[in-house]
Structure 1
Amino acid sequence: MLKKSTFLVLLYAISHLSYGQQITSQNYQARDESNLVEFEFVLPAKQYDFKTSDLLVKWHVLIFDLLEQTNGYTPNVAARSLAYINLASYEAMLPAHPEYQSLSGQIQDYNRHEDYDIGPEQFSSPVAINNAIFYMIDELFTPAPYVWMEKVWAYKDSVNTVLAADLDEDTFQKSRNYGLAVGKMIYEYSKSDGGHRSYLRSYDMNYLLPECESCFEIHRSADLENTGPMHPGWQYNRSFMIENDTDFDIKPKVVFSKYPKSPFYKMANDVYEESKTVNPGNKKYVIANFWDDAAGFTYTAPGHSAAILTLVLRKEPVTLEKAAELYCRLGLALNDAIICSWKGKMKHNLIRPVAYINRYIDSAWEPKLLTPPFPEFPSGHSVQSAAMATVLSETVGSDIGFTDYSKFWVGEPRKFTSFWEAANETSISRFYGGIHYMDALDQGQDMGRLVGENILKLKFLKD
Structure 2
Amino acid sequence: MNAKIFLIGIIMMLFTSCKKEAPIKITADDFCAAVDTVTWIMVHDIFSPPVASRVYVYPNIAAYEIIAQNSKEYESLQGQLNDLTPIPKLDPKSGVNQRLAAIIAHLEISKQLLFSEDMIEKYRDSLYIKWEDENKSEFLMSKDYAFKVVDHINKWMDKDRYKQSRTFAKYSVYSDRQDRWQPTPPSYMDAVEPNWKVIRPLVMDSSSQFKPVAPYPFSTDKNSSFYKEAKEVYDLGNSITQELLAMENAKSDKIPEKSAIASFWDCNPYATVIQGHMMFAKKKNTPDAHWINIAKIACKMTKTDFETTVYINTLTSIGIFESFISCWDEKFRSNVVRPETYINKFIDEGWMPQLQTPPFPEYSSGHSVVSTCSAVILTSIFGDNFAYIDDSEIPFGLPERSFTSFNQAASEASISRLYGGIHYRAAIVNGIDQGRNIGNYVVSKLKMKKKNEQKK
Alignment of 1:54-203 (within 5 A): 54-71=29-46, 73-113=47-87, 115-119=88-92, 121-141=94-114, 143-144=115-116, 146-147=118-119, 149-158=121-130, 160-161=131-132, 165=134, 170-196=137-163
Q: Could you tell me which residue of structure 2 aligns to residue 233 of structure 1?
A: 195
- Contact 1:216 / 1:350 at 8 angstroms: preserved in 2? yes
| Residues 176/388 of structure 1: CA separation in 2 closer, same or farther (3 Å cut) | same
Find the aligned partners of 1:218 and 1:329 in 2 and give their Cα distance: 34
Q: State the 1:191 CA deviation.
A: 1.3
Amino acid in the other structure paired with 1:218: P
CA contact (8 A) 1:123 1:174 kept: yes
| CA deviations over 1:270-314 (Å, ceiling 9, x no partner) | 000110122442111111111111126122111111010112223
Q: Which moved more, 1:248-257 or 1:145-154?
A: 145-154
Aligned to 1:403, the other structure's residue is in SS state strand
Per the alignment, residue 447 of structure 1 pairs with: 434
Q: CA deviation at 1:461?
A: 2.6
Distance 1:170 1:178, change over 3 A: same
CA distance in 1, matches of 2:58, 2:119: 23
Displacement, 1:90? Answer: 0.2
Query: Per the alignment, in what secondary structure is the counterpart of residue 402 of structure 2?
Result: strand
- C-alpha contact (below 8 Å) 1:354/1:435 kept by paired residues: yes
* Map of 2:238 onto structure 1: 276
- The structure 2 residue matched to 1:371, chosen from 348, 354, 357, is 357
1:196: Cα distance to partner?
3.7
Q: Is the 8 Å Cα contact of residues 240 and 259 (structure 2) preserved in structure 1?
A: yes
Instruction: State the Cα distance separating 1:87 from its structure 2 match.
Output: 0.4
**Range that drifts further, 379-388 or 52-61:** 52-61
Higher mean Cα deviation, 118-127 or 340-349?
118-127
Q: Where does residue 447 of structure 2 map in the other structure?
A: 459
Distance 1:308 1:120 in 2: 37
Q: Which runs of 5+ in 1 are unaligned?
A: 1-48
Judged with a 3 Å threshold, the aligned counterparts in structure 2 of structure 1 residues 284 and 153 are, in CA distance, closer, same or farther, namely farther
Alpha-carbon shift at residue 248 of structure 1 (Å): 2.2
Shift of 1:336: 0.6
Runs of at least 5 residues in structure 2 that lack an aligned partner in the other structure: 1-23, 245-254, 271-282, 452-456
Compared with structure 1, are the counterparts of its residues 50 and 365 closer, same or farther at alpha carbon in structure 2 (3 Å cutoff)? farther
C-alpha distance after superposition, 1:225-258 (max 9, x if no partner): x3x3111100111110134532523133522211
Over 3 Å counting, the alpha-carbon distance change for 1:119 and 1:147 in structure 2 is closer
Asked if 1:222 corresponds to 2:186, the answer is: yes
Write out per-residue CA displacement over residues 40-73 of structure 1, whole angstroms, 9 at most, x where no aligned residue.
xxxxxxxxx95442222111221221120124x1
Question: Does 1:398 find its partner at 2:362?
Answer: no
Structure 1 residues 373-382 or 146-155, which shifts more?
146-155
TM-score, normalising length from structure 1? 0.81
Pair 120,444 (structure 1): closer, same or farther in 2 beyond 3 Å: farther
1:206 aligns with 2:173: no
Equivalent AA in structure 2 for residue 79 of structure 1: S
Aligned to 1:44: none
Q: CA deviation at 1:441?
A: 0.6
Give SS of 2:350's match: coil
In structure 1, give the amino acid aligned to 2:441: N
Aligned residue in 2 for 1:40:
none
SS across alignment from 1:391 = helix
Range with bigger deviation, 266-275 or 174-183: 174-183
Match of 2:334 among 348, 367, 376: 348
**Distance in 1 separating the partners of 2:239 and 2:171:** 37
Equivalent position amino acid for 1:331 in 2? S
Structure 1 residue 193: deviation in Å? 1.0
Structure 2 Cα separation of the partners of residues 195 and 69 of structure 1? 22
Task: Report the AA paired with residue 118 of structure 2.
Answer: Y
Q: Secondary structure at the match of 1:277?
A: helix
- Out of 288, 292, 297, the residue aligned to residue 302 of structure 1 is 288
Q: Tell me, in whole angstroms, the C-alpha distance in 2 between the residues paired with 1:402 and 1:258.
A: 44
Number of residue pairs matched? Answer: 401
Match in the other structure for 1:427: 414
Is 2:41–2:119's contact at 8 Å kept on the other side of the alignment? no
Q: In the alignment, is the contact (CA less than 8 A) between 1:136 and 1:184 conserved in 2?
A: no
Which residue type is aligned with residue 175 of structure 1? Answer: S
Residue identity opposite 1:344 in structure 2: E
Query: TM-score, normalised to structure 2's length?
Result: 0.82
Alignment RMSD: 2.3
Match of 1:39 in 2: none
Question: For the residues of structure 1 that align with 2:25 and 2:389, how far apart are their CA atoms?
Answer: 23
**Structure 2 Cα separation of the partners of residues 414 and 120 of structure 1:** 47
Q: Which of 391, 403, 423 matches 1:416?
A: 403
What is the CA distance between 1:145 and its match in structure 2? 6.7
Q: Do the aligned partners of 2:332 and 2:361 also contact (CA within 8 Å) in 1?
A: yes
1:11 is matched with none
Residue 79 (structure 1) shift: 0.6
1:264 aligns with 2:226: yes
Other-structure match for 2:7: none
Alpha carbons of structure 1 residues 247 and 269: separation in structure 2 relative to 1, 3 Å: farther
Aligned-pair distance for 1:176?
A: 2.2
Residue deviations 1:368-411 (CA, integer Å, cap 9, x gap): 11111111000011111111001000012221111111111433
Distance 1:183 1:277 in 2: 53
Q: Which residue of 2 aligns with 1:29?
A: none
Residues 67 and 303, structure 1, Cα contact 8 Å, conserved in 2 = no
Q: How far apart in 1 are the matches of 2:353 and 2:442?
A: 35
What residue number does 1:385 align with? 371
Contact persistence 1:344–1:377 (CA under 8 A) = yes
Kindly state the Cα deviation for residue 217 of structure 1 after the two structures are TM-superposed.
Answer: 1.1
